[in-house]
Amino acid sequence: MAASAPGRSPEPVRLTSHRPRSEAAGDQLRTTIFYLRDHVLSVPEIAAQPLVVSAAGQLLAASVLAAFPNTAQTDPTGQDRGGAHPATLRRAIAYIDDHADQPVTVADIAAAVHVTVRTLQYAFRRHLDTTPMAYLRRARLAQAHHDLRAADTRGDATVGDIAARWGFAHPGRFAALYRAEYGHSPVTTLRG
């Protein structure tokens, strides 16, 4: 379901054609499906993590919408721009910080702060030059950093386990994001 204006029922998004927008769009969807099947959901330890499963579902849904013509409204309206106040952003950030350990979608965040998805996206873009989901990824990265620092170096915690717990299915991508944010590898943090 796509989010709609507060107080109105969301309208379901419908595909308007069974043919991809282009050959490249179809190829990208196939690549996404194969990636999820072969590299994310095929690893039982990773596939058992709720945040990973949620992110996989969101990636698949977004890829389908990008590949096929559909009824989703993507252009921001005047109402979306008008509701993108700093107070909206503060409420959204608080929601993200409080729910980073749960499967959260952009629609969940928008509903929690009583705005449309577009308004939420516009608020993040206008005030932080990022997206709600990029902010959520950074919040989860910060939590993974905290867990790495708190892990007992003699214990059985691994970077992969901590990364998966916070929704990062691919250890290499997690390590790259971590290094970009903290200036060193997650293994360095884990080892103290």
* 185 vs 155: which has the higher pLDDT: 185
Task: Give the integer Cα–Cα distance in Å for 186 and 97.
Answer: 21
Please check the confidence at residue 8 and state whether its pLDDT lies above 90: no
Segments in 36-116 forming alpha helices (H) = 44-47, 50-67, 78-82, 86-99, 106-112
Q: What is the pLDDT of residue 4?
A: 42
Please check the confidence at residue 155 and state whether its pLDDT lies above 80: no
Give the CA count within 13 Å in the CB-facing half-sphere of 154. Answer: 0
Q: What is the CATH number of domain 135-191?
A: 1.10.10.60
| Interacting residues of 30 by C-beta distance below 8 A, sequence separation 6+ | none
**Section 19-41 average pLDDT:** 90
Q: Residues 59-115: pLDDT tens digits? A: 888 888 888 888 776 555 555 455 667 899 999 999 999 999 999 999 999 999 998
Q: What is the pLDDT of residue 1?
A: 41
Q: What is the pLDDT of residue 7?
A: 43
Contact yes or no for 148/162 (Cβ under 8 A):
yes
Please check the confidence at residue 10 and state whether its pLDDT lies above 50: yes
Instruction: Tell me the β-bridge partners of 70.
Output: 15
Q: Residues 158-179: pLDDT tens digits? A: 999 999 999 998 889 999 999 9
| Interacting residues of 191 by C-beta distance below 8 A, sequence separation 6+ | 153
pLDDT, averaged across the chain: 85
Q: What is the pLDDT of residue 84?
A: 67
Give the CA count within 13 Å in the CB-facing half-sphere of 119. Answer: 25
Please check the confidence at residue 5 and state whether its pLDDT lies above 50: no
Please check the confidence at residue 122 and state whether its pLDDT lies above 50: yes
- Rounded to the nearest 5 degrees, what angle is found at the Cα of 96, between the Cα atoms of 42 and 140? 45
